[in-house]
């Protein structure tokens, strides 16, 4: 398990399917993702079946479940995808699925924990992400965690009747290590889990 100030990242399990489906097709959640189409239970079950078996070293991806550190409430998923160890790069992804939990710091905390994992455990050199230009909440969370805007792909996604830009953000290992040098941690397990 990996802990932040507010979250616990744990292995994703096939038993998480009902928690994922509870909020996954909510338009307010889906519209911020690069593929905003709804997913059926069968499609999500197939994705989950593959996700729980993925390995950063074999498949080039790792996906964790996000839980509230104290209540153990399932909040969503987070991932490093397209891991290329020879270049030391990966693409970060996150989905806080319950909109009642948005804007409460879970996204920033999860992002920071995943950066810690990517830089301290996988020894990556650079982690990047793509975010819809209108996802202001997400952009703020990524910037708080240390990401910088480095580019823009113009009119890349058609959604809600018009074309939207996708912003590219990244962070280098050296930048992250200024705040969290080797031997430091983002958060601690709660007292009842030490």
160: left (phi over 0), alpha (psi -120 to 50) or beta: left
CATH number at residue 184: 3.40.630.30
Tell me the per-residue pLDDT of 55-79, one tens digit each, with 9 for 90 and over. Answer: 888 889 999 999 999 999 999 999 9
SS3 24: coil
Structural domain of 186: 2-193
What DSSP character marks residue 61? -
> What's the structural domain count of the chain?
1
* SS3 per residue for 141-154: HHHHHCCEEEEEEE
**What is the value of pTM for the model shown?**
0.89
Angle at CA 76, nearest 5°, toward 2 and 109? 45
What local confidence, expressed as pLDDT, does residue 80 receive? 97
């Amino acid at each position: 398990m990996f802990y932040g100030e507010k979250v616990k990242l744990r292995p994703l399990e096939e038993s998480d399917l009902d928690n994922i489906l509870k909020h996954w097709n909510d338009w307010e959640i889906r519209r911020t993702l690069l593929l905003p189409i709804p997913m059926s239970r069968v499609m999500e079950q197939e994705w989950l079946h593959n996700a729980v078996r993925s390995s950063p070293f074999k498949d080039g991806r790792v996906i964790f479940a996000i839980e509230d550190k104290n209540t153990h409430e399932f909040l969503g998923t987070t991932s490093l995808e397209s891991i290329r160890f020879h270049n030391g790069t990966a693409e970060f992804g996150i989905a806080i699925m319950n909109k009642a939990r948005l804007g409460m710091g879970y996204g920033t905390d999860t992002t920071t924990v995943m950066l810690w994992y990517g830089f301290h455990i996988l020894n990556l050199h650079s982690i990047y992400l793509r975010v819809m230009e209108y996802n202001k909440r997400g952009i703020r969370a990524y910037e708080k965690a240390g990401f910088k805007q480095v580019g823009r792909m113009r009119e890349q996604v058609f959604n809600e009747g018009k074309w939207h830009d996708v912003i590219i953000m990244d962070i280098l290992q050296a930048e992250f290590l200024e705040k969290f040098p080797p031997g430091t941690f983002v958060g601690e397990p709660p007292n009842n889990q030490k």
